[in-house]
Amino acid sequence: FKEYTNLPAGRYSFRVRYTDLGSAGGEKHLADLRVLPVWYLSPAAFLMYAILAGLLIRTLYSFLDLRFARTQYMLERIISKRTEDLIIEKEKTENLLANVLPRNTASEIMETGKAAKVKYNFVTVLFSDIQGFTKLAEEMNPELLIDELDKFFFYFDSVVGKFGIEKIKTIGDAYMCAGGIPEKNRTNPVEVILAALEMQDYMLRLKKTSRVGGMELWDIRIGIHTGTVVAGVVGQKKLSYDIWGDTVNTASRMESSGEAGKINISGTTCEFVKDFFICEYRGKMPVKYKGEIDMYFVNGIVPELRDESGKPNSKFLLKMRMIKLLDIEETVIKMFDDEAAPNLYFHNSQMVKNISNHTELLSRAENLPGEEFLRVKLAALFLFTGFISDSDYDRHAESSILMVEELLPAHGFEPEDIDEIKRLVRNSCGNIRESLSDDILHDARYDYLGRVDYIVLTDRLLKEQAEYGKIYSKKEWLDVQLKLLADHEFRTEKARVLRSVSLEDQTNALRDFYSPAGLLR
């Protein structure tokens, strides 16, 4: 027999011939056979191996992908938590800085690492001092003394915060604050004295109700002066906001020259507040390099501006809002000059000034009451503020109303004032007539239609609208303006009297200025 081992799979042919003992051979025979592969080497097995390998690779990839995703998720959670912690800590730091420094100054330090010193030309500085504090410190329990002092200063902080006054510092029993910084305003002398009156009233009430060791507590001495200061941050590690200048020194002298339980103000401050408060002249004080300065005691609010409890009444508050009106006007004009797009050729700060001034003129001519005058004047200022933003040119009314809601509450205006101003703006933009104030604002807005510079202004309006995608041919613009002139009618008698150019002359001038055909170039 013949034994074969390890024959590769495949087809084989065997040629066989036999021989006998006599060496006689037989015929050759051909035998074909096939060796089958073992099962694990078959094509099906290799296909299965390929499939298994693919599944294994996919499983491994999925496992790695899942592991990566889990790792990424954990990292994202860690980063998110760290970010959240950083934000919380940043807010704490900002709030801490804001409690120590004015918010704008704190923001400047957070962004740049330092804060520039700023000069303020109209600031009212208040100094207060506890009368006889040194003697009390010798007689009272130190812990009780500090607790009482902390209670006073906590109340003072709430008072100055209510009036938008900036606390500067406390040194022992001395308390120092200033109005008109960091936000400039014209009402700071009045607001500082209102705060001083509340401090004085609080100490008087406390003196009547509190006794420690059998002796009456606390008298306060307050001094106030108005002038120029320089404000800034001092120190590197321990930051401190402070103010410097003759105004600070004079305010300190006003306090030291005052009397217990009295508010002593300089003649300069008196000039700004004498219409609001009873100021009692008490003589002069010599000041180095300045000669003598007049001094006055403040004995409360003038009778016509206070209620039965001695607090400011509605007339007082209206008078204050009239002064704040000037601050708001300055703010709005500055917004137009600094933020408005340069292609607002018509709806610019000059037009706002014109409308505001004409609104005031018509209001006085129509004897509009004070509250209504204030509201229509503010509506005139905010009428075009919507053009400052990047919103839709045709939706400026909504943007103007948002500006009213954003700015006026910060100036102490009541919700009913704000609602009425919004109504006036909305009515003016929609040509709705509901009141005399609507008529006045309408006439002030369209005053330019009767002025000698109407042609110049309407051409600016055409140029502005063209740049905002309101393309007109000159003929179309001419038709629009002719219709406006023909349909328009001044609603108040004073506006009709003040018209400089008649409708006929204005129409002829308009026709002469614009070509009847041709596209705007």
Residue scoring higher pLDDT (405 or 218) = 405
CA distance 268 to 207: 31
DSSP class of 243 = E
Whether 117-312 and 317-513 share one fold: the answer is no
End-to-end CA distance of the chain: 113
Query: Is the per-residue pLDDT at 45 higher than 50?
Result: yes
334 C-beta neighbours (distance < 10 Å), count: 11
Q: Look at residue 24 in the predicted model and tell me its pLDDT.
A: 63
The number of CA neighbours under 13 Å toward the Cβ of 309 is: 6
Closest CA to 281 of 472, 293, 290, 135: 293
> Residue 268 burial (CB < 10 Å; 0-12/13-18/19+)?
middle
Domain boundaries of the chain, sorted by first residue? 1-100, 117-312, 317-513
**pLDDT at res. 360:** 95
**130 vs 283: CA distance, rounded Å:** 23
Q: Tell me which CATH code domain 117-312 carries.
A: 3.30.70.1230
Question: Using CA atoms, how far apart are residues 344 and 202, in angstroms rounded to an integer?
Answer: 53
pLDDT tens for 449-492 read 999 999 999 999 999 988 888 766 788 888 889 999 999 999 99
**What is the value of pTM for the model shown?**
0.77
pLDDT band with cut points at 50, 70 and 90 for residue 217: low
Selected residue with higher pLDDT from 21 and 46: 46
pLDDT of residue 251: 93
Query: What percent of the chain is modeled with pLDDT above 70?
Result: 90
pLDDT bucket at 91, cuts 50 / 70 / 90: confident
For residues 197 and 408, what is the distance between their CA atoms, to the nearest angstrom?
A: 26
Distances, alpha carbon 292 to alpha carbons 141, 256, 288, 295, 488, in Å? 42, 15, 8, 10, 61
CA dist., res. 318 & res. 378, Å (int): 13
Report pLDDT for 139.
72
Q: Detail the DSSP E strand segments found in 302-401.
A: none
**pLDDT tens readout for residues 58-85:** 999 999 999 999 999 999 999 989 998 8
pLDDT score, position 378: 96
Q: Please give the Cα distance from 95 to 111 (Å, whole number).
A: 15
Average per-residue pLDDT in the chain? 87
Burial class (CB in 10 A: 0-12, 13-18, 19+), 474: middle
The CATH H-level (homologous superfamily) assignment of domain 317-513 is Hypothetical protein af1432 (1.10.3210.10)
Asked if residue 520 has pLDDT above 60, the reply is: no
Least confident of 44-53, 112-121, 261-270: 112-121
Cα–Cα dist 491/436, whole Å: 9
- Reported as a pLDDT band with limits 50, 70 and 90, residue 516 is low
Predicted confidence band of residue 325 (pLDDT cuts 50, 70, 90): very high
pLDDT tens digits, 404-424: 999 999 888 989 999 999 999
436-445 and 349-365 helices, crossing angle to 10°:
140
- Name the DSSP letter for residue 165: P
Whole-angstrom distance, CA of residue 393 vs CA of residue 79: 43
pLDDT band at 344 (very low <50, low <70, confident <90, very high): very high
231, 107 contact by CB (below 8 A) = no
How do residues 192-205 score in pLDDT, each as one tens digit? 999 999 999 998 88
Query: What tens digit of pLDDT does each residue of 299-324 get?
Result: 999 999 999 988 999 999 999 999 99
**How many whole angstroms separate alpha carbon 375 and alpha carbon 420?**
7
Which residues fall within 8 angstroms of residue 379, CB to CB, at 6 or more apart?
Answer: 359, 421, 424, 425, 428, 437, 441
Of residues 172 and 162, more confidence is placed in 162
